[in-house]
Amino acid sequence: MSRASQKIVDQTRAGPPGPASSQDDNPMRLDKKGFKRPCKASVIYDNCTVLTQEGHVLFRKRLEWYLTRGLADPVDDTTVRLTFQARGPARSSEAWHIQDRVNQCVVCGVEQEEAGLMQHHVVPSMYRKEMPETLKSRNDHDILPLCDHCHERYGRHAHAFKTHLAHTYEAPLEGVGWIYLPHLRPVIKAARALSSRNVIGIPLDRQEHLRGIILDWWLEEGVKEEEERAEGERMGVDGDDVAMEDTSGLHMDWEKALKRALALEDRIKGPSFSTHAQMIIRRLSHEQIQDSEGGQVRWPDLEEFIRQWRGHFLSHSQHRYLSPNWQFHDAIA
């Protein structure tokens, strides 16, 4: 890589210098419940330009990928020219993909330096990741900057829409194909009660009863593991490969028993488990057509699904700073 290329790569990695902050540099924000939420430490848009060999603008893109692979030569600090002949105009005909973009929340207008921004996926990642690669790889149109407050507020509307989709496609949000383990529910409830901050309010005899539930389960688990170890030894398998841990004195180790009980789940994913998103995307992927012009495969129902989410964002986000060039009907793949 040339020195000029390396300079641009270093600049795009670092991003432009920002004002000094009194907070630490950890790109996390606390939400209203005190949980940390990720925010982009670097800018979302660096407004770099990729040119064809003839000098025509193809699109705005981060340049590092092209430079490090020798696919482009630097023109200046924010522009590169491809070293190969582009197969087509890419998205140069769509104003959104060649304009300068502002690093600000598209809803309230707060800028990166003021609050930190999140990359909001207009089509939620849970759906996009299940789509064919053609639709997954070209989704930069549907990634917009939001501050965490606006992201959380719109998220409530998005969840309601997911619930609507769950009913429409008979695809429960929790997925299907769970194997339920009801015999573990008393153990889980007992562990949570004894680990809560309000345990001091539980009568002592009730606490002893709850401990008994956990220790009975723990003893039973210890017997099972011993039986598995013995079976493994009979089959010529090293006992360490069968039992997860040494079971000697298993039923007497209260702290270990409580820790294991707290980690229990009363359901596990069965072999036929499918997520809510997998069920919907599979159903919408059935119809395929081949584009008569370029021969590219398209999925009309999936494209309509993506436009549904674009329309939902436009109608529910209360955006005031979204570029008018960001269009509902822009190309999807």
Does residue 122 share a domain with residue 52? no
Same domain, 141 and 212: no
**What does the pLDDT look like over 112-124, one tens digit per residue?**
777 779 999 999 9
Residues 225 and 292 in one domain: no
| Same domain for 197 and 171 | no
Q: Can you give the pLDDT at residue 102?
A: 85
The C-alpha angle 13, 15, 19, rounded to 5 degrees, equals 145
Per-residue confidence at 293, pLDDT binned at 50, 70, 90? Answer: low
* Chain CA centroid to CA 10, Å: 27
Look up residue 82 and give its two tokens. Answer: 């491809």
Q: Which one, of 105, 78, 76, lies nearest residue 16 by Cα?
A: 78
Q: Which residue has the higher pLDDT, 63 or 204?
A: 204
Phi-psi region of 116 (alpha: psi -120 to 50; beta: other; left: phi over 0): left
* Distance from C-alpha of 270 to C-alpha of 40, rounded to nearest angstrom: 36
| Residue 297 confidence (pLDDT) | 87
Ranges 28-32, 165-169, 323-327: which has the least confidence: 28-32
Residues 45 and 170 in one domain: no
Calculate the alpha carbon distances from 169 to 51, 163, 166, 284, 287 in Å. Answer: 43, 10, 6, 10, 16
Say whether both 45 and 125 belong to one domain. Answer: no
In this prediction, residue 30 carries a pLDDT of 43
- % of the chain beyond a pLDDT of 70: 70
Statement to judge: residues 294 and 171 lie in one domain: yes
In total, how many domains does the chain have? 3
| Banded model confidence at residue 35, pLDDT cuts 50, 70, 90 | very low
C-alpha to C-alpha distances, 267 to 152, 179, 187, 205, 264, nearest whole angstrom: 29, 5, 13, 30, 9
Res. 52 pLDDT band, cuts 50 70 90: confident
To 5 degrees, how large is the angle CA 146–CA 150–CA 151?
Answer: 65
Residue 159: give the domain boundaries: 113-178+277-333
Classify residue 107: in a domain, yes or no.
no
**Calpha distance 257→210 (Å, rounded):** 12
What's the whole-number average pLDDT of the chain? Answer: 79
Mean pLDDT for 29-44 is 48
The answer to the question of residue 138 being in a domain is yes
For the ranges 21-30, 136-145, 304-313, the maximum mean pLDDT occurs at 304-313
Shared domain for 53 and 188, answered yes or no, is no
